[in-house]
Structure 1
Amino acid sequence: MNAPRTSRTFKSGNSVALRLPKSLGIEAGVEMTVREERGRFIVEPVKAERKIDISGFAGKIPWLKLLTPEDREFEERELDWDCKKLNRDG
Structure 2
Amino acid sequence: MGKEYRAKSFKSGNSVAIRMPAALGIEPDREWTIVEADGKMTIEPAANPMKKIDVSGFWGKAPGLQLPPREDFEERPSALAPRLPSGRS
TM interval, shorter chain, is 0.5 to 0.7
Q: CA deviation at 1:63?
A: 2.6
Q: Which amino acid aligns with 2:19?
A: R
Q: Is 1:16–2:22 an aligned residue pair?
A: no
C-alpha distance in 1 between matches for 2:51 and 2:7:
36
TM-score, normalising length from structure 2?
0.54
Consecutive unaligned residues in structure 1, runs of 5 or more: 54-60, 66-90
C-alpha distance in 2 between matches for 1:47 and 1:9:
25
**Percent identical across equivalent pairs?**
38
Q: Is 1:33–2:38 an aligned residue pair?
A: no
Check 1:51–1:4 CA distance in 2 against 1; reply closer, same or farther (3 A cut). Answer: same
Residue equivalent to 1:44: 44
C-alpha distance in 1 between matches for 2:50 and 2:36:
27
Check 1:15–1:62 CA distance in 2 against 1; reply closer, same or farther (3 A cut). Answer: same
Q: CA deviation at 1:38?
A: 1.2
Q: CA deviation at 1:3?
A: 0.5
After the TM superposition, list the runs of 4 or more consecutive aligned residues in structure 1 that deviate by more than 3 angstroms. none
Consecutive unaligned residues in structure 2, runs of 5 or more: 54-65, 71-89
RMSD over aligned Cα, in angstroms?
A: 2.6
TM-score, normalising length from structure 1?
0.53
Q: CA deviation at 1:39?
A: 0.7
